[in-house]
Amino acid sequence: MINALAILLVFQLMGEFLSHFLRLPIPGPVVGMALLFVALSVSSALTERLRETAQTILQHLSLLFVPAGVGVMLHAQRVLDEWLAISVALVASTLLTIAVTAFTIRTVAHWMGVRNNEDRA
């Protein structure tokens, strides 16, 4: 398990290095995760080596929400004071995300030549 964790940390370190060295606008852990994805796609031995550790980490994934919950409780008064701005930001960002997703899907479908049901009628 320690070896598997070391492998995961090495991929994160490589991502951090590449992100910093190449001045990418993408966070290092995301670059490292992409590198890990490529490595796992190529090597089935690496997949088997990381399987047990990855499953253990996923079983305890809910623990990652504890710091966020503590942060909300710590700043509960601030959340109450700024509830309107938070609500507007949540609704606006949700609507923007839906619109951008719809636009992206339509654009990719157009590029791929996929027709929607309205065009078929």
List, for residues 16-67, the tens digit of each pLDDT value: 999 999 999 999 999 999 999 999 999 999 999 999 999 999 898 888 788 8
Do 51 and 88 have their domain in common? no
Do 47 and 80 have their domain in common? no
Do 17 and 35 have their domain in common? yes
- Domain closes at, from 36, 59, 82: 59
Do 70 and 51 have their domain in common? no
- Residue 37 tokens read as 């994805």
Mean pLDDT of the chain: 91
**Whether the predicted pLDDT of 118 surpasses 80:** no
Q: 69 or 31: whose pLDDT is higher?
A: 31
- Can you give the pLDDT at residue 116? 67
Do 113 and 90 have their domain in common? yes
- Can you give the pLDDT at residue 64? 79
The rounded Cα 35 to chain-centroid distance in angstroms is 14
Do 40 and 77 have their domain in common? no
Domain of 14, in residue numbers = 1-59
- Can you give the pLDDT at residue 117? 64
- Residue 113 tokens read as 């030549």
pTM passes above 0.85: no
- Domain closes at, from 41, 59, 77: 59
- Specify the number of domains making up the chain: 2
Residue 64 DSSP class? G
